Structure 1
Amino acid sequence: MADTSDPAVLVTHDDTDPAVAVVTLNRPAKYNALTEELKEALLTAVAGVAGDENVRAVVLTGAGKAFCVGQDLGEHAAALEKDAVSSFDTVRDHYNPLVLALTGTPKPVIAAINGPCVGAGLGLALAADLRVAAEGLKFTTAFTAIGLTADTGLSASLPHAVGVSRATELLLLGEQFTADDARNWGIVRDVVPADQVLDTALDLARRLATGPTRAYAEVKSAIRYGAVNELPAVLEHEADAQARLATTADHQNAVADFLAKRTPTFEGR
């Protein structure tokens, strides 16, 4: 069946733990290149799992042999020919909201990077909280190869992940780097055989889905805030977050369980 007949994004739930949602980019014949249809479907999917109280962890992956090779250049070429000035409206209309949606999702997001991860695809992967990658896969920023600079937040997320010097090198030269490089630089948590990527990400998501979901949301918020603000403001942000979490059932029950020498059970509330 042709790509155009299939949903651009699939949302399913893990058979083992339905609290884990799996969001799959679904243009395998085009290596999940990002069209307007796919970007809009992904925005809808991420908003849906973010707002679903029954979802406590999310896995983001790609169908077929690739995670995502970035913008669909055929669609982009048509937009350039029609009106070069407006051809990049998609950055504000789609890419920026997608990055904000993924980073702002109040539950952990794990990227299962099953194959090539290029350009905006790398930006989406870095907008997730944790990453698992397939052995032997290649990453690249790719933007300068077509006369562009970074989007999808890579000018912030890549320096935060690998440091300013290496990020500058990767963005200027556009050279490929491997899954092993990504692990050594701290971009990915695990590198496993390609047929184990999704299962490894699901195992991690299941672990997180049994944890203190509201605390995880505060951790995500704190990291984003701490990366761009001065220490006094960061300390106040942390104090406010701890005060909010003090009222949660998960924190109160966990303290009681600790004092009673019981293993805590978190319900995400």
Structure 2
Amino acid sequence: MSSILFTIENAVAHITFNRPEKYNAFNREMALLLQEKLDACQSKDVRCVYITGSGKAFCSGQDLEEVVDPNGPKIEHIVGEHYNPIITRIRKLAKPVVAAVNGVAAGAGANIALACDIVVASQNASFIQAFSKIGLIPDSGGTFFLPRLIGWQKASALMMLGDKVSAEEAERMGMIYKFFPAETFEEEAKKIARTLATMPTKGLTFTKMLLDNSFKNSYEDQLEDEENFQQRAGSTKDYKEGVDAFLQKRRPNFIGE
């Protein structure tokens, strides 16, 4: 079986980490294949991306057996050629990305989830910044995204102490959007992805780009960017459809253009 499962259904690209016997830990083959599948999501046939894991885990991070293998990739290659390109692809992808965290998300697995646009979790899921346990630092964008999600103090403590955070606690502190009971999690998570796939894709993409820009902009720059992106959004077919549907008191039929 492939380490990454990939299907497209109703404009939603489903990406599933598929090394359940290893709790979906990344090796080089899996990391490069994920990059390939994220590139495939640039297709016009895809309007939302849904990422989850098979088995009991979402992703337990790096497969340490590969790290200690004398013939395996070095740490700088793992970060520079595996994880950094994955995070970059998720943030640059011109459509929303949903992380459906079905089980433990540890190390790089946790930070890949947190780089997505919307993160939901099963009640059975947990998040662990496991790096300090083996003398490493958080990678995969963790030091960038986590403090912005939950604040400096909380992020610093979780990264240094390596505490396990439950799905309920992750929602409470703003790390994730929502958690769901295990028995309804998959359907609720997929419902979010299906909804996003029927919405104005360009408008959602512009929103994603503005949020990224806000990390570096002054508020004056941000206001200027909002003006420019609003002009672009106002020239889309979906904007016209949205206004027409509102005035005609009917449901809009957005086409993502």
State the SS of the aligned residue for 1:23: strand
CA distance in 2, matches of 1:37, 1:256: 48
Superposition RMSD in Å: 1.5
Counterparts of 1:34 and 1:195, CA distance in 2:
27
Aligned position for 1:72: 63
SS in structure 2 of the partner of residue 211 of structure 1: coil
CA distance, structure 1, for counterparts of residue 166 and residue 218 of structure 2: 34
Distance 1:209 1:83, change over 3 A: closer
Structure-to-structure mapping, 1:93-112, within 5 angstroms: 93-112=81-100
Which moves more between the two structures, 253-262 or 227-236?
A: 253-262
TM-score normalised over the length of structure 2: 0.95
Matching of residue 47 in structure 1 with residue 39 in structure 2: yes
Structure 2: segments with no counterpart, 5+ residues: none
1:26 and 1:83 map into 2 onto residues whose CA distance is 20
C-alpha distance in 1 between matches for 2:251 and 2:185: 30
**TM-score, normalised on structure 1?**
0.91
* Distance in 2 (alpha carbons) for counterparts of 1:251 and 1:203: 23
Rounded to whole Å, the distance in 2 between the matches of 1:207 and 1:83 is 41
| 1:59 pairs with 2:59 | no
SS at match of 1:143: helix
Question: 1:182 aligns to what SS in structure 2?
Answer: helix
Contact in 1 for aligned 2:51/2:100 (Cα 8 Å): yes
Residue in structure 1 matched with residue 245 of structure 2 by the alignment = 257
Q: How many residues align structurally?
A: 257
The 3-state SS of whatever aligns with 2:109 is: helix
**The residue matched to 2:16 in structure 1 has which SS?**
strand
Cα deviations by residue, 1:64-116 (Å, 9 ceiling, x for unpaired): 110000000000112xx4699x4322211111110011122111111111111
Select the residue among 199, 205, 208 that pairs with 1:220: 208
Give the one of 29, 33, 49 matched to 2:25.
33
Per-residue CA deviations over 1:144-175 (Å, capped at 9, x if unaligned) read: 11101110000011011111110011111111
| 8 Å Cα contact 1:20-1:59 kept in structure 2 | yes
Contact kept, 8 Å, 1:28 with 1:66, in 2: the verdict is: yes
8 Å Cα contact 1:113-1:197 kept in structure 2: no
Pairwise CA distance, 1:259: 2.8
The answer for the alignment partner of 1:3 in structure 2 is none
In 1, distance between residues paired with 2:121 and 2:51? 12
Distance 2:15 2:213 in 1: 26
Q: C-alpha offsets along residues 41-63 of structure 1, whole Å, 9 cap, x if unaligned?
A: 000011101x1101111110011
Which whole-Å CA distance do the structure 2 matches of 1:259 and 1:196 have between them? 36
- Unaligned segments of structure 1, at least 5 residues: 1-5
Deviates more, 1:128-137 or 1:33-42: 128-137
Distance 1:193 1:257 in 2: 35
> 1:89 is matched with which residue?
77
| Contact 1:112–1:131, Cα closer than 8 Å, also in 2 | yes
